[in-house]
A and B are shown apart, each in its own frame.
Chain A
Amino acid sequence: VRVAAVFGLYLVLAAVLILHQRGRVVPDGFIDELTYGRVAQNLAAGDGFTYQGLSPGYRSLLPYAIAPAWALFSGSTAYHAALVVNAALMNLVVFPAYAIARRVAPFGWFLDDGHHEERFKSWDEPVDKLMERAGNREIVRKEIDALPEGYRTVLVLRDIEGLDTEETAKVLGLSVNATKIRLHRARQALRTLLAPHFRSAVS
């Protein structure tokens, strides 16, 4: 109850402050701290995985959350104070979705030098051998079902029903290029979901 009360007071204070400081309380740099939160929001909204854009809801929440830090401090101190608030917000509000996003994030993550963060461990057996077992085929179907609808649809039409890219694009009402990108993301997402099932350990 105390935590909720303090958090509530914090939000009220933020709401008051932001009325006076609107437009200058959110340095754009903070947005870069929220990659996983952004992913989580997009997945939750059914928009699939994208790096582009924050959801309106989170964009409107963030200024209120960090406004007190920006008002009480100045310069780099305010920046660091706001980062702490930002981190707290991530943990309290976004972390559950963040954890899901970490699991579902289809690209894999990259280091600053452009290389993969993850070392990919081979799957235990060739795919034909894996798919001989009914349990494994069931796993694949379950993970396809777990994909966001947009990904699942394009994957089924293209890879399973065998439509070509142009046909798939027309069925979905998308451009050919958008269809190719969405299919690529869907395959990457499915690979990420399948990998833990078909390899002995993650290195």
Chain B
Amino acid sequence: MKCRELAEFLNDYVSGELPAESRAHFEFHLSKCKNCHEYLVQYEMTIKAGKIACDEMSDEMGPMPEELVKAVLLARIKT
């Protein structure tokens, strides 16, 4: 597995959806490539930073727009 391929699988790896065999290749590459390991760390930090920064904003902004709430509820019902 090359860095380019690893970058494409990051999303599935972070969400735990990567199949076992691919996960093994992924983690082997990570163990050998400090640069990809750092990229993964920053990818996860980015997700967390967005969550923390915007949680504060949503507290200040109050409720979501009604149309978006309806769309989200509709999606949940269909799921």
Please give the residue numbers on chain A whose beta carbons come within 8 Å of chain B beta carbons, in ascending order. 107-108, 110, 113-116, 119-123, 126-128, 130-131, 136-138, 140-141, 144, 155-157, 159-161, 163-171, 180-181, 183-184, 187-188, 190-191, 194-195
Contacts and interface: CB of A to CB of B under 8 A. Distances in A.
B35 A170 contact: no
B2 A144 contact: no
B3 A115 contact: yes
Interface of B: 2-5, 7-8, 10-12, 15, 33, 35-36, 38-39, 41-43, 45-58, 64, 68, 71-72, 74-76, 78-79
Contact of A167 (B4, B5, B72): B72
Interface SS majority for chain B: helix
Given A140-B49, A167-B72, A171-B72, A184 B10 contact: yes
A194 B52 CA distance: 14
Given A120-B39, A191-B43, A170 B74 contact: yes
Interface SS majority for chain A: helix
Contacts of B75: 163, 166-171
Contacts of B4: 110, 114-115
A113 B35 contact: no
Nearest to A130: B49
Given A116-B39, A170-B78, A171-B75, A187 B46 contact: yes
